[in-house]
A and B are shown apart, each in its own frame.
Chain A
Amino acid sequence: MNSSTDAFIRQLAATAGEVGKALPHESAALHVAGEASYIDDLPELAGTLHAALGLSPLAHGRLLGIDLEALRALPGVVAVFSAADIPGPNDCGPIVHDDPILAEGEVHYLGQPVFAVIAADRDVARRVAARAKEFLRIEPLPAVLTAREAHAQGRYVLPPAHLTREQSPGATRAAIVSAPHRLQGSLSVGGQEQFYLEGQISYAVPLEGGALRVHCSTQHPSEMQHAVAHALLLPANAVQVECRRMGGGFGGKESQSALFACVAALAASKLRRPVKLRADRDDDFMITGRRHGFEYDWELGFDDAGRILGVEIDLISNAGFSADLSGPVMTRALCHFDNAYWLPNVSMHGYSARTNTQSNTAFRGFGGPQGAIAIECILEAVARALGKDPLEVRRANFYGVGERDLTPYGQRVEDNIAAPMVDELVAQSGYAARRGEIAAWNAQSPVLKRGLALSPVKFGISFNVKHFNQAGALVHIYTDGSVLVNHGGTEMGQGLNTKVAQVVAHELGLPLARVRCTATDTTKVANTSATAASTGADLNGKAAQDAARQLRERLAAFVAQRAGGIDAAAIRFADSQVLLPDGTPLPFDTVVADAYAERVQLWSDGFYATPGLHWNRETLQGKPFHYFAYGAAVSEVVVDTLSGEYRLLRADLLHDVGRSLNPAIDIGQVEGAFIQGMGWLTMEELVWHPQSGALLTHAPSTYKIPTANDAPPIFNTRLFEGENPADSIHRSKAVGEPPLLLAFSVWLAIRDAISAAGDHRVDPPLRAPATPEAVLDAIEVVMR
């Protein structure tokens, strides 16, 4: 018997055309056969060399010297490069220029690359690089290792960000002070390693005239192109970056693939030989950053119904040693603190704390989850203080429809479907009945306690930076009628190429099998945006549709003219046929061949820019989002009050993807994000040595992501019926990030079970990740 979700996918009505069908991932048959090529699988060119990075053994220090001569003299070493060898600026920071490619002057964290060893054999390069501390002279400096400590010292990578929206100046404080009920609290939420299965890798090949081709596992080929060009003082047109697919990205290959691309390119450029840099998993953990851990201090006032009257919160993120994307991550956190709730008076203060650890970066949700989890935690505290079901308090605070709908950043919520979605999920999941059953079960269970929670999601779609919201595509129709698509997005497993190919196939009335997507390549579509912020299909789908539509119109015009001037707009493309207004079918391939013979241009570019966006990054006001995506989840757990162990027993997910481009792929995104989010909030604990600053959880042996046994035995996922009111690609909605927040329900259900252990008298002081130890700590407090 297969799962109910599988049955749901299979029973979805077939749609006309390729859009909306539950088609397999375009590479699925290659994946399962081991025939899908990742960068390390590409045949190596003759003369290929391998690089490995020598890392700082200290969290902070003055770099006095590197014994390069001794390193270069070791057997098998072809070359060793340090910062001094970089012709251009030693920087690969995406926004602020504070990210050295190789350390210079100071080392800022334990694991920071200081030099690169090049050898014919990867193993030789690794062995030499692993001896880094023998060849480095570093004078230790005091290191700051936690965000709280950095905040106390006022050490930030960027100026603090304040977002206050209140009914009158000072109203937030006043509302808190005069409210019938007042609460304050703190929360600590850990970071998360992306753990893309394919680690960071770049393979740089020298081309004629000093140019370079870099095969890079990256979500942002254009930025890699610019980073390499910048560091090597090359014009952008001399650097080609290509990526067919990634073995997962999750944000970790948005900005932080740059260091690897730059080092491989530097070595290839200097040595005029192909150079591959594939970081070992441990090095990948030690070098790159991840999801920002956040600390929160909050205070609020609320009424008897649990409605928030005023709330003030400090959000302190652990940015690591440099800015990287910490600014935009904090912005998104501030813009998601509201989640699905109307906050009449709110004052938020965001601090991006500078610590001597890896520089934290994008990770699916990009601050959104860190913003929204705080309000969910706060609403639970309100519910417990009032003795109400948290769901009741959530409903009391939902944004209204046509009223109570202004976000703290000034955008109105005009597409709110949170309430009807939650109603539907409550019914589907049997929430109310299970509440009672669980209370009864807990009453007779002395050791194990069950918990249940429902959490909603509202997530803003678009880059918070206006100019990133653009995309380009190229569509070629060859004379045999086969179609090739190239666009600026990257494939990291999310099915972007499948969706874009579906859009193109749909436009041209072809089956998906006739359309192929090629590697993302900066020589084809220029100036692309990162495949990030869930916008891949929204942007690139529209751009590819634009290109395909031009081709369809050109072919229709050709057919119309040839048929003696019939109405081109009445010609349809379907089932591999071009259908004349009278129904006469012409084979698509024949029409294409004829059009070629008549010198019709059979390729086209396409472009898209999301309309209506504006954003003031000083005031944090504007319309940063094209629309919102919604979802809700109910999770049930059982917790052991003796050990703190727990298990997710059941999850019911309902998610809004508008009118799905591909329900199978969308459900894959929803479920995958949910389990990934659950990992973040439960087992995925990052531990740094409290004195040395060494990351101790630097491999899957010590950093635990969920396995098949962590997926709940009852796992029901459904897509909400409806279409995107905004003019998106085929009225679909972005799906990459929003469902990650559905996993709040797991963490909240654990809190509910802990709360049950204390007869719901005490709000459990549960941190995240909720490891068994964290759970037991909270249990001891509620049972005290």
Chain B
Amino acid sequence: MSLSTDTRPIRFFHRGQIAEVEGAATTRSLLDWLRVDARCTGTKEGCNEGDCGACTVIVAELAERATAAPGTLVGGLSIRTVNACLQFLPTLDGKAVLTVEDLKTIAGGALHPVQQALVDCHGSQCGFCTPGFTTSLTACYERHCEAGTTPSRQQLADELSGNLCRCTGYRPILDAGQRMFELPTARLDTAPIVAALKTLSEQPPLHYAADGQQFFAPRSLDELATRFAAEPQARLVAGMTDMGLWVTKQFRELPLLISTTEVDELRRIEDGDGVLRIGAATPLEDAWRAIAARWPALEEMGLRFASLPVRHAGTMGGNVANGSPIGDSAPALMALDAALVLRRGERVRRLALDGFYLDYMKNALEPGEFVQAIEIPHGDAATTVRGYKLSKRYDCDISGLCAGFALRLDAQGSVAHVRLAFGGMAATVRRARSAEAALPGQPWTEATLEAAVTALAADFKPLTDLRASSGYRQRTAANLLRRLWLETRVEAPLPAAAISVWHRAAA
């Protein structure tokens, strides 16, 4: 196929009209554009790396093109909070950006219920994080108003996993999150946004160039595959939750970027024929909800996976392909025997995730090849699956240690199937082969467990770093196996409430 070389400006909906951008670097952040170019300074920079949430904004897409999770749909739009500091401007093309400046407009010039509730509950002190909290709560407000529901305090705290406040201690902000639903309603009028986005959707796929840099946003899988095979030196860009830092902190040059997230075929989740198939450009939030729907024990891992805005922007394929040794998805996916569908030009191949990671930040992708989908076999319904994460903080922290376990016992109580995968224990996420080998066919007793624990010591030689020491990693890797045993032992298995400080009573 032939590839278009015509460039055009970036166009997105902002403050009631279509903004058109030319000349800005392809890696210019939405945050800098808002603050410096558009002089909308309500959105703040606190860290410039997606961890503080002071720059949280709402990005809206047309519901029909977004292949979006039902929970994000509001009046014909799919709305998600993201960190503006991590969004390259061209990725906003064809979308709408809502910031704290939009709220009084929505409320007809008065304070929006979210804002009024924050004032009434004394939810701001220094005020610097407040616009970010306001936008996070607004997205929450719109979704719950749409659904006719109200969130619990626990759900509100989860919604705010990407917003740091150093002043209040959060209690008044959570109060405001409940109070906002008690005030007279003010809803986003989505009609003008929908109309504008429909107009924008008639544009050709984005090819944007500035100052020697290029950005392509193909809309079909074939076009993406062809483009990347032809220009394998290009960088694929998806959620920018890691790549954004290459620019904001490392000042790396990225002359040629190809986006994956405009390809609808990469954003589909299909669950059938014994396999859960997740398109690589599916947002992590949607992907993990689908995984947790099938394996409920993995729900907590999803909640603790980065923050909500990062899960909105970040993609499943990006997380897997990035291949961090402490990435939160890989251990669980490996325990589930997930496989990757890899595409290069017209060639499609399947590779077990277990064989994908070669060394520290090195994987089996060939030049011009990319992850198209992640396939997770349903497996045997009798298999117990667990995902355990250890970190200094519950929310939005990089794991010191992360484990994904799968275990099935036969009718006699012996181990019929086992997968023990760990992150944070080696240069890549990988399975504990020795510990696994100690288990099949053995009765699932404490003696068997301790044999696996002994074998585990030979599997890994973890490092000491700022997150955990080598010794802690060794000890807790063993203890997580013990936790698994305590939860699954034949006699008197312990319920989750007796084994995890994070256990939540059923809602």
Chain A residues within CB distance 8 Å of chain B:
1-3, 5-6, 9, 22, 24-25, 27-38, 40-41, 43, 126-127, 130, 194-199, 245-248, 250, 280-282, 445-448, 492-495, 638-640, 642-647, 664-665, 667-668, 671-676, 683, 685, 687, 696-697, 699-702, 704-711, 713, 715, 717, 771-773, 776-777, 780
- Chain B residues with Cβ below 8 Å from A6 are 121, 171-172, 175
Decide yes or no whether B122 CB sits under 8 A from chain A.
Answer: yes
List residues of chain A with CB within 8 A of the CB of B123: 32
Kindly list chain B residues whose C-beta atoms are within 8 Å of the C-beta of A773.
400, 468-469, 472
- A704 and B393 contact, CB distance less than 8 A: yes
A700–B47 CB distance below 8 A: yes
| Complex CA–CA separation, A2 to B121 (angstroms) | 9
Q: Is there an interface contact between A195 and B101, defined as CB atoms closer than 8 Å?
A: no
Does B246 have its Cβ within 8 Å of any Cβ on chain A? Answer: no
- B499-A24 in contact (CB<8A): no
Q: Which residue of B lies closest to A707 (CB)?
A: B395
Tell me the chain B residues, 222-262 only, with Cβ under 8 Å from chain A: 249, 251
Q: Closest 3 A-B residue pairs measured CB to CB?
A: A34-B42, A493-B126, A247-B128
| CA of A28 to CA of B401, assembled, Å | 41
Instruction: Give residues 67-95 of B contacting A (CB, 8 Å).
Output: none
CA A638 to CA B500, docked complex, whole Å: 9
In this complex, which of B35, B171, B395, B498 has the most chain A Cβ atoms within 10 angstroms of its Cβ? B171
Known: A248-B126, A672-B168. 18 other contacts (CB 8 A): A1-B178, A3-B175, A6-B121, A24-B119, A24-B120, A43-B39, A195-B166, A248-B166, A280-B48, A281-B47, A281-B48, A493-B126, A668-B172, A675-B170, A683-B393, A707-B395, A709-B158, A772-B400
Q: Does B358 make an interface contact (CB < 8 A)?
A: no
Q: Are B499 and A707 in contact (CB under 8 A)?
A: no
- Across chains A and B, the number of contacting residue pairs, with CB separation under 8 Å, is 283
Which residues on the B side are within 8 Å of A685 (C-beta)? 392, 466
| A31, A43, A130, A493 — most chain B CB neighbours (10 Å) | A31
Which chain A residues border B390 with CB–CB below 8 Å?
A: 643, 645, 772
Task: Assess whether A447 is in contact with B126, with CB atoms less than 8 Å apart.
Answer: no
Contacts of A130 in B (CB 8 A): 251
For the complex, is B383 an interface residue (Cβ under 8 Å from A)?
A: no
Q: Are B49 and A197 in contact (CB under 8 A)?
A: no
B331 to chain A, nearest CB (A): 15
Number of B interface residues at 8 Å Cβ cutoff, please give it.
Answer: 92
Q: What is the bound-complex CA distance between A40 and B54, given in angstroms?
A: 14
A144–B118 alpha-carbon span in the complex (Å): 47
**One of B349-357, B361-369, B417-425, B477-485 at the interface:** B477-485
One of B114, B125, B171 near A3 (C-beta < 8 A): B171
7 A/B residue pairs, CB under 8 Å, sorted by A: A6-B175, A31-B130, A246-B126, A248-B126, A493-B125, A707-B395, A776-B472
* Chain B minimum-CB-distance residue to A702: B466
Q: CA A707 – CA B51 in complex, angstroms?
A: 11
CB distance from B473 to the nearest CB of A (A): 9
With A2-B121, A28-B119, A685-B392 in contact, do A711 and B169 touch (Cβ < 8 Å)? yes
Give Cα A245 to B171, complex, Å. Answer: 23
Return the CB mask of B118-151 against A: 1 if under 8 Å, else 0.
1111111111111100100000000000000000
**Contact residue among B119, B125, B171, B392 (Cβ-Cβ distance under 8 Å from A495):** B125
CA distance A640 to B498 in the complex (A): 9
Does the CB pair A708–B161 fall under 8 Å?
yes
Any A CB within 8 A of the CB of B197: no
Q: Is residue B398 within 8 Å, beta carbon to beta carbon, of the partner chain?
A: yes
Q: Which of A37, A195, A646, A671 contacts B169 (CB 8 A)?
A: A671
Q: Is the CB of A126 within 8 A of B122?
A: no
Expressed in whole angstroms, the minimum distance between the Cβ of A365 and any Cβ of chain B is 15
CB-contacts of B340-398 with A (<8 A): 390-398
Roughly how many angstroms separate A37 CA and B126 CA in the complex, as a whole number? 11
Provide the bound-state CA to CA distance between A5 and B123, in Å: 13
- Please determine whether A33 and B169 come into contact, CB atoms closer than 8 angstroms: no
Contacts of B128 in A (CB 8 A): 38, 196-198, 247-248, 493
